[in-house]
Structure 1
């Protein structure tokens, strides 16, 4: 069973510092939403508020139709996966998975526990590891166990707090695929905190970009990347910083961006530039938007290549 999550004008202060400012955000049932931003941007505070680990100073937090501000973490029907996995070292994988089902007030019949563990273990590729201890597992295997322990309770909402940050680069990419496939299979509502924009772009239904305690943009990955709401989002999302050219838009004889005496054509689309014509503007260009052509090509714009960087395929 999936459910929605909603923040209504939620503010959180730590002393004189406002860690989160009037957050309005809604996650639809079954969505995979990433909270993305640099350290101190407010994303982890948002997750802590949703988990019930932090109390809001203002506003309302809803899980489904229920306001949960005054409800403890144990009664919010959520499951959280931490950065450090938080597995019990003295328990086998089977016992770690069984623990949430054997906890006080949640105890299930042993046969049901075994059936649930078997289903989760097969979904995550863990059936051959059930009798091992965490110290005998790789980082990726430990992460799967942590995910399994969250899954086994069948919560309404999964909260993942930078779960891949301790893994090496290749394993992070593999785990991104696995988590995305898992979401497609179980269809649960997932709120995922990360500072890695590649993770957010590759896995999310929508991305909430934070900076200095404020939500900067909330949109699908394609829109975040191609139509950033402001300069911060444009610079933060993408492998390389966006190049910004200062100039103005002129419409005669055809729409063009005038920069340092050079005219950069803006294409023959139907865009209406009348509201910004002649005003000082910044034009953002991503590296992949630039193509080297001969000087005779229509629309060619002179540049100087100052550095070349190999990034694999490019």
Structure 2
């Protein structure tokens, strides 16, 4: 989920930008809508543009609102290991189930550097589960099979946002199934067909456009595994892909990655299920021609939510 922003949060002199009332409402809405867990403070969660005080209040509000009904993983990615550990310990004290953790962004990491980073955080925060935030564009790291083979020996590393389906079977084998790889919703059908016993969960940002379609998709895939009738699942995969398709400017993931925070938040605002609010600086600038695609994607997601709510 994004970090809801109050009006005016796109200004450099804004303070206390987090809409805590909307945060609590969205957490309750997601849980009542049937999600199994919440990931927050990633890229579109604006982990990089919140002050520590804002981040702390947001985490506290989410965890209090969830009240133990589902696990809440909060992003504690920072520019260095020591700050990451400080934030992760604070999140643990608040009651977070885990951290969605990317690599420090200043320098590109080697495999040895990346593995040691996760080992250090796990040693310092032994009670926090870790979801590896495997975003190649953001963290300038390819997350190769050699990396997964080594971090699989860290007990706290339990799952990962995962986008490399071409290497999925290889990475499952390298980790001996110790890490649950989560594809995005649009890729879940393909992953579940490829490895049905292992692939039983996905991550989604579409739930905050209205959760009905993605929770239904989860259940349809589960039923398809039992019956081996994948026809309905295939149709829903196409619907979800169609809703997402206009989000990518010029059909390019690289172009999308330059503006993904504001495009995602504008998509959510257009869907109308939650108020994501404005984007915090410096990532609040985007070519106007890109915005219509984001708004159309939000409208399509809202239509899916309405369809499957019925």
Which TM-score bucket, shorter chain as reference? 0.3 to 0.5
* More strand as a share of residues: 1
TM-score w.r.t. structure 1 length? 0.34
